[in-house]
Amino acid sequence: MSDRDDPVTIGRRVQQLRSERGLTQRQLAEPAYTPAYISTLEAGRVRPSDEALRHIAERLGIAYDELVTGRPARLATDLRLRLTEAQRTLASGQAEQAAEQYTALLAEAEGHELVDVQAVALLGLGECALDTGELEAAREYFERSERALTDVPLPARVPALRGRAVSHYLAGELRYAVYLLESTLDELNRGGLHDPDALLLLYASIIGPYMDMGAHARAAQAAEFALALAPQSGDPALVARMHRSVARTLLAEGRLAEADASLAKAVELYRTLQIRTELANCHWMRGYVYAQNGELDRAEAELRQALDMLSAGRAALYSSQVAVELADVLHRRGKSDEAAALLHDVLSDIGPERGALHSAAAHRLLGIIAEDAGDTEAAEEHYVRALSLLERAGAVGDLADLCRLLGDLLRRTGRVEAALDAYRTGLGHRTAPGTTTLGPAPAQPPL
């Protein structure tokens, strides 16, 4: 029952407000009603009409909505303005400060039972936790946001669903992340809920897990759908994120110039929007593009800029990912000691539960550095650790390459049978390129 339907709650509120203003029942009632009516209303024995409530609100000097709901006038508008400010703080890379703002907003929204504001504040807290690498906390916030929106259409729940999938993805749970994203896409497309922003967010988010699972064909198709949906989106930040995700598929196909052009569009949008964390991610991706193209000095400059921006914002998990990419470039430039030190810092900052894929990448590169230095024992140890992390995550594309590295090392040290086993394992992970063990693809949008 809402306050508007509860005579006892309304009566108590009228009595409290009248007493605070020093009014008698007669002063509140006149000229349209009697003191006896006000007495009966305050006792909760009568359900007042809208006309009576408007008269009482006017005599009390407050808005009708405030009398009916108990919420201060313009509260919802004020909270939404503060939500915008918290989003701006997060966009500038200040995740911890944004989390404080969202926490205060959530408490107020819960106190006044503003469910829609609660959902947005929880979503913001989830994004803050992703930035700081607190994946379990992020997942919990996104789940609570979903629950708050249980009764609203699916497109409105998509940002929370996507956040939950990303938290699983960053924890190395690739298959479950793909399941969440694909099942949501399927439900939207089969149900005719063709919301461009919701679909664009899901397609942009699923590219990364697809690529890491070796499902390059599905990643390319998701990129194609995202590009087709972009002109229909009214959210420039979402379009920028899409361009950054699509660049991954272009890189995988060797289309470096197109990948760089896609990232340039994202950079332009993020600079306009002043979204610092995403801008840092674009520098990261551009560094990767330059590294793939052999331009190692430019790659190092872009990756250092990304790392500085993310470290300033205390985005621990993303900083660690960039650090691994930078270490690879440093190693290729002959700065192996600096690269190894950076990688050991990464492994001390993140663990298998917070970033399985990136811990694996750090161990893989440390293995390569050790092997180059002639320390085959340390190299093998790092390769085996990386293999265990990637098998747990189901990162098929990286697994095959790691098995080749391990097999080559074992063969060079005279352990031919063990090397053959490693090669067979790698081949087993490449038996179905483009699909891996995924089920049927989700229904397609009507483009």
Q: For tokens 């697994």, what's the residue? A: 399
What per-residue confidence (pLDDT) applies to 248? 78
CB 398 within 8 Å of CB 360: yes
In 313-375, alpha helices (H): 316-332, 336-349, 352-372
Q: What is the pLDDT along the chain (447 residues), one digit of tens a residue?
A: 445 558 888 888 899 888 988 999 999 988 889 999 999 988 988 888 888 998 988 888 877 777 777 776 566 677 878 888 888 888 777 888 999 999 999 998 888 778 888 999 999 999 999 888 888 999 999 999 999 998 889 999 999 999 999 999 888 888 899 999 999 999 999 888 788 899 999 998 998 888 888 787 888 888 888 888 888 887 787 888 788 788 878 877 888 888 888 878 877 777 766 667 777 777 877 888 888 888 999 999 999 988 888 777 556 667 888 888 899 999 999 999 999 999 998 888 766 556 677 888 899 999 999 999 999 999 999 999 988 888 877 676 678 788 888 999 999 989 999 889 888 887 765 544 433 446 677 878 876
Element (H, E) at 132: helix 115-132
CB 226 within 8 Å of CB 242: yes
Amino acid at 152: V
What per-residue confidence (pLDDT) applies to 186? 92
What per-residue confidence (pLDDT) applies to 90? 84
pLDDT tens figures, 279-320: 777 787 788 888 888 899 999 999 998 888 877 755 666 788
What per-residue confidence (pLDDT) applies to 431? 45
Query: Would you state the structure tokens that stand for residue 171, as one six-digit string?
Result: 């924890």
- Residue 192 buriedness (CB in 10 A; 0-12 / 13-18 / 19+): exposed
Q: Among 231, 232, 236, 202, which residue's Cα sits nearest to residue 218?
A: 202
CA 101 from chain centre, in angstroms, equals 18
What is d(CA 57, CA 51) in angstroms, rounded to the nearest whole number? 10
What is d(CA 25, CA 40) in angstroms, rounded to the nearest whole number? 10
**Residue 43: other Cβ atoms inside 10 A:** 13
pLDDT tens figures, 36-67: 999 998 898 888 888 899 898 888 887 777 77
